[in-house]
Chains A and B, each alone.
Chain A
Amino acid sequence: MGSKTLYDKLWDAHVVRVDETGTALLYIDRQLIHEVTSPQAFEGLRLAGRQPWRTSANLAVPDHNVPTAQSERASGIADPVARIQVAALGTNCASFGITEFAMGDVRQGIVHVIGPEQGFTLPGSTIVCGDSHTSTHGAFGALAFGIGTSEVEHVLATQCLIQRPSKTMLISVDGELGAGVTAKDIVLAIIGAIGTAGGTGYVIEFGGAAIQALSMEGRMTVCNMTIEAGARAGLIAVDEKTIDYMRGRPLAPTGELFEQAAASWRTLVSDAGAVFDRVVHLDAASIAPQVTWGTSPEMVLPIDGQVPDPAAEADPVKAASIRNALNYMGLTAGQPLAEIAVDKVFIGSCTNSRIEDLRAAAAVAAGRKVSKNIKLALVVPGSGLVKAQAEAEGLDQIFTAAGFEWREPGCSMCLAMNADRLEAGERCASTSNRNFEGRQGQGGRTHLVSPAMAVAAAVTGHFVDVRTL
């Protein structure tokens, strides 16, 4: 056969069988589990009298519901419903023999942060989780995608999923990023360009010089938000950065086996001449720091932009969407983004809570103070280990000196299932991934930005181009 894309290679290596209709049984190497989408799956196993097919293929962690305030962690989760759900994860894992990093374990954190951190995420593997941002792990040249609870149960019971192959898209980000422009800005610009349904039916491989130049953390940020472009999964080819990142991770292979694995991982690139169903080019140099203005991640503009005018939109469905969004967001057409004042700032989530994100945020926060109009500025590290590393580097001191709160790891205000949330009408500069209505609290208004841009908004009280600070 001829040239293969990275996706083809991953797919072919995991097909158990294909039936007459072209539907494949795909083998799943790894499953990550969290408290919100797993209880009904474990219940299903129990009711059917089934056992996990391969217990060691699973790793569990509570993250969505856990409190991020030290006091509530010590006293136990205050919300009784959340407490039951977190406890249920513990009981389910214990009874089925699945490893869990419970609250209080330094390895606990957001499921998509701890997978790579522990070396549970392996290049060349298939990885699933009952969470849409599983696309994050594609940064390692792994086929990783989110699934529903029925499929969580399916993978637990059979180590397989019923799948059909996706179409492939290559998004090549060519050239070099400007100073102060980050992985988050790249992916927001991509979503702005192709739209939130632009990737539907595709697996997207990100390539080009600007992607190659990113650290593993930056690559994870890009793949993380692939789902916001509607794609099933995001992928980035393996290179020496990938292999260096894997070396010495607690759950990664060691010694001779690591070298054997690394040799195989180096083949995880799309062959020259491989054909994609769609190819999109973006010029990295033209990307400025991005800010979303609406209630969908595709409603995004460079910081020097202005809130769009629905009257200027020819498509009536789109015009209605813009009108709805402006109404919900409390914005007026033509308003410069840099004039929008902010109430709260959130730095965290599986998109931007890794050590590199915290370093970038701290670099802007150093020697500055959170503006008086900001009611709350939170920094929530992605895992206990990220938190420890940041503290070892003194980043926590920089944040608290500037007026930020330094919290325990978890999803926190990314989806506001715990106490961290927006009140109705409050406006937030957030490093998370979704600006949907009510995402950070009912009536809350979310603007997605990079960590550096979030800090810039915190210290000035409004959105501002971080490059001009």
Chain B
Amino acid sequence: MEPFQNFSGIVAPLDRANIDTDAIIPKQFLKSIKRSGFGPYLFDEWRYLDHGEPDMDCSQRPLNSEFILNDPRFSAAQILLARENFGCGSSREHAPWALADFGFRVILAPSFADIFFNNCFKNGILPIQLESDLIGVLFEKASGVAPLRISVDLPAQLLTLDDGNQIPFTVDVGNKQRLIEGLDDIGLTLQQADAIREYEARRKVEAPWVFV
């Protein structure tokens, strides 16, 4: 995984609660056995007026002009702003793959669904949970004529708005470290191979039926 670098990006306000992973990347795209190429189908049912299928040339498809990501101001957005329970539903990691492939690196919401939240960190996306009222304020700022730009400083855990306002945020230390260093989780866990084997040896005595 690429290490997470500080950046300054445009905020796309997607004003809905309970955005589920089916909406983020619809089921027909899950038949792919690859990890890449999901970006053009991100929010497919909201973004296009026709029905999307894998391998379609999305540059030829009719766009839903009402959908926020089709607004030219947000086409290069790297920060997604949403309402509560973002990423609920199916565990599909295709959702963060599609968001990352589109270019999103940070998601701001009052709450996230648990599996989606974890999946983000495996794919270089930083999900940030902020107070509902604060999210409301950000929606106001991001919906003005000029798009809102935010600078993200992960080591300092600080967001800086283009009007100079600053918002501190919290992030789990382990997740923060893995994002910043771009670490391979599996490689790290395998450094604990001896501890895992010791655990197994102990557990085989306590609960032998698990191992038959």
Q: A154-B186, A157-B190, A321-B17 are in contact. Are A196 and B85 (CB under 8 A)?
A: yes
**CB neighbors of A among B179-212 (8 A):** 185-186, 189-190, 192-193, 195-196, 199-200, 203, 206-210, 212
Chain A residues with Cβ below 8 Å from B207 are: 13, 124, 261, 264
Nearest CB in chain A to that of B28: its residue? A417
Q: Does B61 contact A (CB under 8 A)?
A: no
CB pair B115–A146 under 8 Å, yes or no, is yes
Given A150-B122, A162-B174, A230-B85, A417 contacting B185 (CB threshold 8 A): no
Q: Which residues of B contact A318 (CB under 8 A)?
A: 17
A-binding segment of B6-14, B86-94, B152-160, B162-170: B86-94
B45 interface residue per 8 A CB criterion? yes
In the assembled complex, which residues on chain A have CB atoms less than 8 Å from the CB atom of B54?
A: 81
The distance in angstroms between the C-alpha atoms of A285 and B123, with both chains bound, is 46
Q: Does B113 sit within 8 A of A, measured CB to CB?
A: yes
CB-CB under 8 A from A230, the residues of chain B are 85, 88, 113-114
Q: Check if A164 sits within 8 Å of B172, measured CB to CB.
A: yes
Of the candidates B23, B34, B185, B210, the one whose C-beta lies within 8 Å of that of A438 is B23
- The count of chain B contact residues (Cβ–Cβ below 8 Å) is 58
Residues in B74-93 with C-beta less than 8 Å from chain A: 83-85, 88-93
* Chain A residue at minimal CB-CB distance from B172: A164
Q: Does B89 contact A148, Cβ atoms closer than 8 Å? A: no
Check A25 for interface membership: any CB of B closer than 8 A: yes
Contact partners of B84 in chain A: CB under 8 A: 197, 317
Nearest A residue (CB) for B184: A48
CB distance from A53 to the nearest CB of B (A): 8
Nearest B residue (CB) for A262: B209
Question: Which of A37, A146, A200 has the most C-beta atoms of chain B within 10 angstroms of its own C-beta?
Answer: A200
- Given contacts A258-B209, A417-B31, are A317 and B83 in contact (CB under 8 A)? yes
Q: How many interface residues does chain A have, given as a range?
A: 35 or more
A466 to chain B minimum Cβ distance, whole angstroms, is 28
Report whether B189 and A196 are in contact in the complex, using a CB–CB cutoff of 8 Å: no
**Bound complex: CA A55 to CA B187 (Å):** 19
Partner of B89, one of A159, A258, A417, A436: A436
User: Could you tell me which A residues sit within 8 Å of B by CB distance?
Assistant: 13, 16-17, 19, 21, 23, 25, 27, 29, 36-37, 39-40, 43, 48, 50, 53, 64-65, 79, 81-82, 84-85, 88, 122, 124-125, 130-132, 145-151, 153-154, 157-160, 162, 164, 196-197, 200-201, 230-232, 253, 257-258, 260-261, 264, 295-296, 317-318, 320-321, 324, 415-417, 434, 436-439, 442
List residues of B whose CB falls within 8 A of some A CB.
15-18, 20, 22-23, 26-28, 30-35, 45, 51, 54, 83-85, 88-93, 96, 111-115, 118-119, 122-123, 172-174, 185-186, 189-190, 192-193, 195-196, 199-200, 203, 206-210, 212
